[in-house]
Chains A and B, each alone.
Chain A
Amino acid sequence: MSKSEVDAGDSVHPGKPVIVDRYTVAARINHWITAVSLVLLALSGLALFTPALYFLTGLFGGGQLTRIIHPWIGVVLFLSFMGLFFRFFRLNLWERTDSVWMSRMRDVLANEENKLPEVGKYNAGQKMVFWSMSLFILVLITSGVVIWDQYFGNYFTIEQKRIAVLIHSATAIVAICVWIVHVYAAIWVRGTIGAMTRGKVTGGWAWRHHRRWLKDLVTGKN
Chain B
Amino acid sequence: MFTPVPNPTTNPVAAKFGQQDLIRRSASSVTAPAKRQTEVAKLIDVSKCIGCKACQVACLEWNNLTEEVGVNVGVYDNPHDLTANTWTLMRYTEYENAESGNLEWLIRKDGCMHCEDPGCLKACPAPGAIVQYSNGIVDFDHDKCIGCGYCIKGCPFNIPRISQVDQKAYKCSLCSDRLAVGQGPACAKACPTQAIVFGTKDEMKQWADHRIKDLKSRGFKNAGLYDPPGVGGTHVMYVLQHADKPQIYAGLPNNPSISPLVEVWKGVTKYVGLAAIGAFAAFGFLHHAVAGANRVTAEDEKNAERLTEGQR
Contacts and interface: CB of A to CB of B under 8 A. Distances in A.
Any A–B CB pair closer than 8 Å = yes
Interface of A: 12, 14-18, 47-52, 54, 57, 62-64, 66-68, 109-111, 113, 147, 149-150, 153, 158-159, 161-163, 165-166, 169-170, 173-174, 176-177, 180-181, 184, 187-191, 202-208, 214-215, 218
A63 B144 contact: yes
A64 B147 contact: yes
Given A109-B287, A158-B158, A173-B276, A54 B27 contact: yes
Interface string B273-301: 11011001100100110011111111111
Interface of B: 27-28, 125-127, 144-150, 152-153, 158, 162, 167, 259, 261-262, 264-265, 269-270, 272-274, 276-277, 280-281, 284, 287-288, 291-305, 307-312
Given A14-B311, A149-B147, A203-B305, 14 more contacts: A14-B312, A49-B125, A50-B274, A51-B27, A51-B28, A54-B126, A111-B292, A150-B147, A161-B149, A165-B150, A166-B265, A177-B280, A184-B288, A190-B293
Chain B interface mostly: helix
B77 to A, nearest CB: 18
Contacts of B281: 180
A132 to B, nearest CB: 13
Given A16-B305, A161-B152, A189-B294, A150 B167 contact: yes
B305 A18 contact: yes
A50 B270 contact: yes
A166 B123 CA distance: 11
A204 B301 contact: yes
A12 B311 contact: yes
Given A170-B273, A184-B284, A188-B287, A204 B303 contact: yes
